[in-house]
Chain A
Amino acid sequence: MTTETILRVTGLRKQFGPVKALDGVSLEVRAGEIHSLLGENGAGKSTTIKCITGAYKADAGEVLLDGVAISPQSPREAEQLGIGTVYQEVNLLPNLSVVENIALGRMKTGFLGRIDWKHSRVRAKAALDKLGVSIDLDEKLSALPVALQQMVALARALDVDSKVLILDEPTASLDEKEVESLFQVMNRLRESGIGIVFITHFLEQVFRMSDRMTILRNGKYVATREAKGLSREALLQDMLGKAFEEMQGRPGNLNTFSEGLSGKENRLVVNGLGAPGKIKRLDLKLKPGEVVGLAGLLGSGRTECARLVFGIDGATGGSIELDGKAIRQGHPRTSIDEGIMLASEDRKTEGIFPNLTVRENMVVALQTRRGFFKPISKEEGDRIARKYIDAFKIKTSGPEAKISELSGGNQQKVLLARWLAAEPKALILDEPTRGIDIGARAEIEKLIESLSREGLSILMISSEMDEEVRCCHRVLILRDREVIGELSGDDVSESEIVKLIAAHA
């Protein structure tokens, strides 16, 4: 293996408004290596890639390809320079043929712009051969399985003499067999001397495939590590930004509360819930007032669990019981009627009604629970809204303000109020503190505690492990879409969670 550096990125900076997305990111990729780019949500992986390929213009920093400074104005130009990129979502044209997809935008043209298809076919064939796959060039793209579509995307990225290939979560939509064949192709490309930048959330794949890895956190460069001999603990510490010693234990009162639960009947029982590509198997028991956390890295299947339990996605197997009664799955409406509710992580697309008022946003779930013909009068809605505005200290000009005029944290509180107003028995909170300031975070944590004391069962998901440690009586640990362990009592601590995530399967 050569050790010649083919792509060198130094001091990359990029700011969006007041937000520093990248703050001095560096990356060095050698020819003939697979180099993983790692980091949690918001670490800056995608932004880094976009700055390298010219999709974004970096505010500062340098990109050297083969020792020559480049500043491509578009991904297309980057491709011509030798940096090919394949994105998570296959962004090809489904109704065109394989050869058209590979050749599009770079076709050799002759007299009066006539396209030289012969030439395009030869080059497409060569690119596919390089990958070691054979696909009928005239097949319509949409007729191919996703994995082969991905190969076409790869062939497109490789059509020119690529030196660097960037793979942004290429395995996310593939099954195990498909992942294997992608890995074979990656190995083949590595041997041919291409430098591969590999982005994935699956730690198994990172350790299996990469030679080295660069870790980013909050837009900053953390470290570059050799994969050989690197412990998972060390990697997680880099990613999460905490040494084990700094990781917090938990408040003692959580344990005493848990002890009081032992005699009570289960509120929510989830048995063997699963769906391919989402989560392998989820077993879960929640007692009244119990707060259980789902911990794991991004992509470990936390949100998928929440969506399956709530019924927004359909499960292929398993059962859900609430207070001993079986719940029909796959129907959010039924879940809400029975008292299982989900405050989604995606406030904007799955939460707020931007043009409706604070009051309307708060009562909508209660209204669906009551049904068409028992409307919540404006007066009653107003009472509900004022109650929660006071209780949660929501900053708004009043119940009739448009919710989109509120800050993110206050919108989040309105959404919490929406679910609490609908009187849930079991509430799933997916990233309840994402994108809100520290003060509001502390308030929401306090709120979770008081809800728990009132007997509400809560399933909580948070990327901030310390938050789960402070709030949850028990924590289930997920890795690669599977529950791999459980912590309770004094064992609930950030370091234990990290150890479990890091442990080999």
Chain B
Amino acid sequence: MKIYIPKDAAALSLGADETAEALAAAVPEAEIVRNGSYGLFWLEPMVEIEKDGRRIAFGSVMPEDVPSLIESGFGAAHPLYLGKTADIPALKMQNRLTFARCGVIDPLSLEDYTAYGGFDGLKKALEMPPQKIVDEVKESGLRGRGGAAFPTGIKWQTVLDCAADQKYIVCNADEGDSGTFADRMIMEGDPFTVIEGMIIAGLAVGATMGYIYLRSEYPHARDTLRAAIKTAYESGYLGDNIQGSGKSFDLELRMGAGSYICGEETALLESLEGKRGMIRYKPPLPAIKGLFGKPTVVNNVISLATIPVILEKGAAHHAAFGEGKSRGTLTVQLAGNVKYPGLYELAFGQPLRDLIYEIGGGTATGRPFRAVQCGGPLGPFLSERQLDLAVTYEDFAEQSAMVGHGGVVVFDDTVDMAQMARFSMEFGAEESCGKCTPCRIGTVRGYETIDKIIRGENRAANKALLEELCDTLIHGSLCAHGELIPYPVLSALREFPEDFGLDRQAA
């Protein structure tokens, strides 16, 4: 018998190690596999039993549940029984392209990886001329999943078209946005897919060196990536002469040091160069003058992890999901105050309301919904009246909302939106790189002014001042950090003026 218990950091945070130990002690003859998580976090630690090639799941298994599980013969009569894993409704309704293997396989088993289609994309790419690979990515409609949603194929074309003695692939694994954990999950649950995506990117643009820039808050992902990179070298997928093809690609893991702004691509490049994470002026684009002044592809983890399946199954397969100019799938990360929090890989176009109420089951506390923040700490807050918009880049942009990296953070009616607005400015100040004045000083003046409004000092005048300050930040900042901080603040003011002691009319 095989028993699967996730080693994903979130599952560990709920006691997966203790459950694994209890099971190992109680069923010594079983083979215990530490898989990644499927992302159904209200069911973690989720234990699966493989019998006769079928995987049966049990949800929220704590060490004290182990004796009764054994007594029931891991049967359907047990209260934690969920049935066949693949039939769990929250999994069945998903369109898992990028996350197809996550949760299913042992993350560090190359054998598992290749058995589930791993490196099939690379095999195809090794036979293709670079332009053909770039064309495939263009046709897939993949857009940068880090948040900016820039077409990945066009970025790659720019780097391919640059003549240079050295080019680089940089994987942005500085997943700093609150409410997002998809990068972490795939790095811990299926690290080879990130590595494969980077190798293919290297073949496509002519880069022979890659860096993964990982945030320091992810020690579990760090350990998994280190082990996976080592295995990939040992098995001839990294280094010289990849699988006898004559092509080479080297890959190195670099750690960040707790700076949110280093998720901004030019600050990330500065940090990789060993400097302060200060943003750079653009142009020149990193695609033309990036790391150490050389043409560089900077892609988010999920963008790169989606490349293998695009090559494996073809651009058309990927483009068949989604709608309009939002093709493929979005890894929605439902978090905060929601009953069924987790990772849901879905085709673009789902209504936001369904995500929160149908899929998420409403708030975890059972209290009324009040606000949702999509797209990380720089995304605007949306209220009940805005929930009917569909999750696509275009529909969100029309409402000045942000899909970003797919994070959806839900709040119930106990939230104080004036405090949330203050927090946005405080966070903005804490994480500003300091290069441009609007962001460096404006964010500090921002929370000071919000404090005055909260205290009731000249509310109307200070509100006008705050709006003017936000306008300066939006139009005068050098990068997206300063440009976007005002959005949560202004949306809180507009949708929830009563929390600031302002009346709705005046707002």
A complexed with B = no
Which residues on B are within 8 Å of A, measured CB to CB?
none
